[in-house]
Amino acid sequence: MSKRAVVTGMGVVTPVGNNLAEFWANLTGGVSGVGPITRFDTEGYSSKIAAEVKNFDPGAFIDRKEARRMDRFTQYAVAATAMAVEDAGLDLETINPARAGVILGSGVGGIETLEQQHRMLMERGPGRVSPFFIPMMISNMGSGQVAINYGLRGFNVTTTSACASSNNAIGDAFKLIQRGQADLVITGGTEAPITPLAVAGFCSMKALSTRNQDPAGASRPFDAARDGFVIGEGAVILVLEEMEHALARGAVIQAEVTGYGASCDAYHIVQPDPDGAGAAGAMLMSLADAGVAPEKVDYINAHGTSTPLNDKLETLAIKEVFGEHAYKVAISSTKSMTGHLLGSAGGLEAAVCVLAIGKGLIPPTINLETPDPACDLDYVPNTAISRTVHVALTNSFGFGGHNAALVLEKFNPERNS
């Protein structure tokens, strides 16, 4: 019989808060984390805004010497993991380290280190490139450092599937536990892409919002005036645990992951499939995996990037999957407040689903002022709503046509018994 995977802890480093209480209060209060970019001079950039992490002190979680040997994306991962482990009430001395793994998602890894060391190479020559350049830059170092910090010797991998990365990571962690190959997996995503080169690249693609005079209003999923996404950063970590393992140690179970679906559009390097078939396929697969009928879903955390194509096609895909229920289910895009955390977005949005299930509160899609006629569903505009959430679904779609969907449910010990 398949094992069950439950969420017992979460930790966050995000543009709207660096602890769960602040994170949730700001999301349900409709507070935007977007502002002018402070990391570098944006002269000449078409987009000058981002959702930056604020007031983050790596020294609160990591030895300062060690922190200097980590890219920002790794610092975020280690910090969020420390909070998640504490939230789960885990005593890592009491678990079997060979059955404890780490699966994180990251789209671009240590791009800040890459840019810094390239400048060093060009300005001062190869002899001045840091010996820590490679282990700071490679995308797997977030999961590697988490495992090193906690002595976790089980399955360890980093998933890179663009903006679907951490949904894939959580889904893979769920399957690892379901197959009985792990008792516990640290999972989620981490990203730190607010750098001169990365932002310039997205600007050149015309993917970013240029609403520079109104940063808080720039990310506006499903609104007729949306003009691109707002780049964000941060890490969100979930402790995913085999149910019996969690119950045996008296853990508080916050939710259960019950379904995972993934697909590829096989259509274009950046544009989504115009009929939404890939996105619909991932959602249908996740629901079938969970054994949940579409009409049982209470909340969808949409990918909802605030780009003209994505929001229209995600709406189309939701209608394809849910039929008439599409008009009854509550849907919101928290990217309207957090910006788009790229490979870490799915981790953040899975945490939102866990909190919505636990709190009976659905965060809004802010800045939804003039609905797009092609986006005619209930996107919980501007104000959070109280609603019992038994079943939530979260979508993540990435460049390359990657689609991943997860189903999370309120924990019921009698489920499938």
Determine which one of 203, 245, 340, 375 is catalytic.
340
Determine which one of 163, 203, 353, 375 is catalytic.
163
Q: What is the CA radius of gyration of the chain?
A: 20
- Residue 239 phi, psi (nearest 5): -90, 110
Q: Is 365 helix (H, G, I), strand (E, B) or coil?
A: strand
How many residues make up the chain in this entry? 417
Q: How far apart are alpha carbons 240 and 411 in whole angstroms?
A: 13
Is residue 264 part of the annotated active site? The answer reads: no
Is residue 268 part of the annotated active site? The answer reads: no
Cβ–Cβ under 8 Å, residues 89 and 377? no
Strands (DSSP E) found in 246-320: 255-264, 299-301
Q: 234-242 and 255-264: which strand pairing?
A: unpaired
Cβ–Cβ under 8 Å, residues 174 and 132? no
Q: How far apart are alpha carbons 380 and 357 in whole angstroms?
A: 16
Determine which one of 245, 303, 353, 375 is catalytic.
303
Contacts 24+ apart (CB under 8 A), 244-253: 244/3, 245/183, 245/184, 246/6, 246/8, 247/413, 249/89, 249/91, 249/94, 250/89, 251/6, 251/8, 251/88, 251/89, 252/8, 252/89, 253/6, 253/7, 253/8, 253/411
Is residue 390 part of the annotated active site? The answer reads: no
Cβ–Cβ under 8 Å, residues 203 and 46? yes
The CA-atom distances, in angstroms, between 15 and each of 23, 155, 268, 334, 371 are 9, 30, 30, 11, 26
Q: How far apart are alpha carbons 70 and 249 in whole angstroms?
A: 33
- Crossing angle for the helix pair 308-322 and 277-290, nearest 10 degrees? 40
Q: How far apart are alpha carbons 341 and 345 in whole angstroms?
A: 5
First vs last C-alpha separation in the chain: 10
Closest CA to 189 of 344, 355, 349: 344
Q: Catalytic residue numbers?
A: 163, 303, 340
